[in-house]
Chains A and B, each alone.
Chain A
Amino acid sequence: MDTLTQIRRVWKPLLFITCLIPAILVVTDAFEITGRLGANPIEEIQDRFGYWGLRFIMIALAVTPLRHMTGWNWLIRFRRMLGLFAFFYVLNHFLVWLLLDQRLLMSAILEDIVERPFITIGFTAFLLLIAMASTSTLALRRRLGRRWQQLHNSVYVVGLLGVWHYWWQVKLDIREPLVYAAVLAVLLGHRVWYRYKHRPTPRA
């Protein structure tokens, strides 16, 4: 098998299953096979999906810095899957809120989106993720050309909004959101630094 085939036939399926583990654990914990969801299972599931959504956004954003540092350009072949898993977990986070927490009660849903700043921010990030996920096929990427790249650059905004959403949701103890903010700062900071280092040199 050549490298590309190996990536497609072996590594991608393996990564796919690995990325699915947090979701599988939600199900097995719900049936108390692997653990428990505790006294407030809806909150627990919603939190877990939210965490993993944010983590996968960070993981997808780590691909480029890792490539720069290691020269492992094959990493790029996994990035779309990582991004789509970010969307998958955020979508689940959203659906738990919509279906289990709010039970499709429209007045409460709209009130939350309009009146609770942290939900407004999270919802905005979710809309951007929908736009990115729905244009993630190769065909659309080719069709959209430069505009595709512009649209998908909004992942930086999604990262910022995601951390902000978490930060504002926390009542008092901001240590964890702070960790996410620090990781995001490194991931985005690397890009700024890299661009600066590789800026076009002025010609005489």
Chain B
Amino acid sequence: MLIRKSPDIRPSEITSETNYLNRRQFLQSSALAGGSLLAGSAMSAVVPDTPMAELSGVIPGDYSTTETPNSIEDIVTYNNYYEFGTGKDDPYRNSQDFKAHPWTIEVDGHAEITGTFDIEDFVNPHTLEERIYRMRCVEAWSMVIPWVGIPLVDIIKRFKPTSDAKYVRFETLHDRARMPGQRRGSLEWPYREGLTIAEATNPLPMLVVGVYGHSLPNQNGAPLRLIVPWKYGFKGIKGIVKMSFVSRQPVNSWQMAASNEYGFYANVNPTVRHPRWSQARERRIGAGFFAEKQETLMFNGYGEHVAHLYDGLDLRRNF
């Protein structure tokens, strides 16, 4: 059984490794951490305004894997975030001066409550949970990451989507001055992603504000990103500024770039052939030079929670 409740020792308690990232910001944020500790309580999430500041009031969530999480070093130096460059370490190198605060999120479309919210107001009514999820990239590598965030379903319920809301659509910040990767054409900006309302209200997807018990580093999508563990990593849109309840299936960025390779669903599926990478197996980052690749699991191993969402759908055509 791969999916179990959290182990006794949460990775957030392993604090030594977190110091690796960005000592400067870590020191700055330590000074602020005192304040957020006072403000934090179990029922109101507080997101510090610097990366890698310790988060308070984080409870262990369900659905965590017992696999060993990757080191914070792997998680923060090996990223796909084209807004900061297309190389794997570009986001780490090019995002350090990015300011993810102040930050607002616009909610629009078919919902009773819409408007523009400060990140604090957006996450405040919720409790932060830690969930250790597998992350499978379409490039055939994978990691295990202890995210901190809020179940997406809880946030969606708050905005009371109407029956016309068939899909949820997300957008990343589009700001050429702050995101150097947007100054040239690679993807069409802003980055966009979407889920069906059934997928979005499944208990697994999370809106993530932290990793390893600390607020998100910029290169991982600060201050707010999506995690959908049974889908390829590119569905996990970063730096979210907009969430829309829409009636039509949105077109996601990678689908726009190459629809023959990347679809809307993008469920992890070892049986769908891909012209660049075999999706049958994956390399676990951090496993070492001589480690064998491992078999990729259907729905990244989360099938028991999500397979029913696709009853009657041909997943080879709807890849």
Check A172–B186 contact: CB distance below 8 A.
Answer: yes
Could you say which of A39, A100, A112, A118 contacts B78, with CB atoms under 8 Å apart? A39
Using Cβ atoms and an 8 Å threshold, which residues of chain B touch A67?
none
Take A40-B141, A172-B187 as given contacts and tell me if A116 and B88 are in contact as well, using a CB distance cutoff of 8 Å: no
A-B contact count (CB 8 A): 56
Closest to A118 in B: B276
A42 contacts across to B, CB distance below 8 A: 283, 289
Decide yes or no: A172 and B86 within 8 Å by CB, A38-B78, A112-B278 being known contacts: yes
Q: Is B280 within 8 A of A39, CB to CB?
A: no
Cβ of A101: which chain B residues have Cβ within 8 Å of it?
A: 283, 293
Within A75-128, the residues touching B (CB, 8 Å) are 100-101, 103, 108, 111-112, 115-118
CB < 8 Å neighbour of B257 from A40, A116, A172: A172
Contact of B285 among A39, A103, A112 (CB under 8 A): A39
Q: Per-residue CB proximity of B267-287 to A under 8 Å, as 1/0?
A: 000000101111011010110
Please tell me if B121 contacts chain A, counting CB pairs below 8 Å. Answer: no
Q: Is there an interface contact between B273 and A115, defined as CB atoms closer than 8 Å?
A: yes
User: In the complex where A40-B88, A117-B275 touch, is A103 in contact with B292 (Cβ < 8 A)?
Assistant: yes
Interface of B (DSSP majority class): loop
Interchain CB contact under 8 A, A116 and B276:
yes
A172 and B189 CA atoms in complex are apart in Å by 14
- Chain B residue contacts of A41, Cβ below 8 A: 289
The reply on A173 being an interface residue by CB < 8 A is: yes
CB distance from A104 to the nearest CB of B (A): 10
A115 to B274, CA, bound (A): 9
Given the known interface contacts A111-B278, A115-B273, the answer about A39 and B86 at a Cβ–Cβ threshold of 8 Å is no
Asked whether B73 is an interface residue with its Cβ less than 8 Å from the other chain, the reply is yes
B108 CB-CB contact with A under 8 Å? no
0/1 string, B160-171, CB within 8 A of A gives 1? 000000000000
A171 near B: Cβ within 8 Å? yes
CA distance A111 to B280 in the complex (A): 11
Question: Min CB distance, A135 to chain B, in Å?
Answer: 33
Shortest Cβ distance from residue A126 to the other chain B in the assembled complex, whole angstroms? 18
Number of chain B residues whose Cβ lies closer than 8 Å to a Cβ of chain A: 28
Q: A39-B77, A39-B78, A42-B289 are in contact. Are A171 and B283 (CB under 8 A)?
A: no
State which residues 25-69 of A face B: CB under 8 Å.
30, 38-43
Chain A: minimal CB distance from B143 (Å) = 9
Decide yes or no whether A136 CB sits under 8 A from chain B.
no
Cα–Cα distance between A111 and B290 once the two chains are bound (Å): 21
Q: Are B285 and A40 in contact (CB under 8 A)?
A: yes
| B106 within 8 Å of A (CB atoms) | no
Residues in chain A near residue B293, CB distance under 8 A: 101, 103
- In whole angstroms, what is the CA distance A47 to B11 when docked? 32
Contacts of B292 in A (CB 8 A): 103
A169 at the interface (CB under 8 A from B): yes
Across the two chains, which residue of chain B brings its CB closest to A100?
B289
Question: CB distance A38 to B77 under 8 Å?
Answer: yes
Residues of A with C-beta under 8 A to B120: none
Q: Check B74 for interface membership: any CB of A closer than 8 A.
A: yes
A119-143 with Cβ < 8 A to chain B: none
Q: Is the CB of A169 within 8 A of B276?
A: yes
Residues of A within 8 A of B78 (CB): 38-40
The answer to whether the Cβ of B89 comes within 8 Å of any Cβ in the partner chain is yes
Give Cα A29 to B271, complex, Å. 36
CB-defined contacts of A103 to chain B, threshold 8 Å: 292-293
Chain A residue nearest in CB terms to B77: A39
Interface string of B56-81 (1 = CB under 8 A from A): 00000000000000000110011000
Which of A42, A103, A111, A171 has the most B CB atoms < 10 Å from its CB? A171
Tell me the bound Cα distance from A169 to B275 in angstroms.
Answer: 9
Mask of B252-266 contacts with A, CB within 8 angstroms, 1/0:
000001100000000
**Which residues of A does B touch, CB under 8 Å?**
30, 38-43, 100-101, 103, 108, 111-112, 115-118, 169, 171-173
**Would you give 18 A-B contacts (Cβ < 8 Å), ordered by A?**
A39-B74, A39-B78, A40-B78, A40-B285, A100-B289, A100-B290, A103-B292, A115-B273, A115-B278, A116-B276, A117-B275, A118-B275, A171-B86, A171-B276, A172-B82, A172-B186, A172-B257, A173-B86
Extra A-B contacts (8), CB below 8 Å, given A42-B283, A118-B275, A171-B276: A39-B74, A39-B286, A40-B283, A43-B283, A111-B278, A115-B275, A115-B278, A172-B82
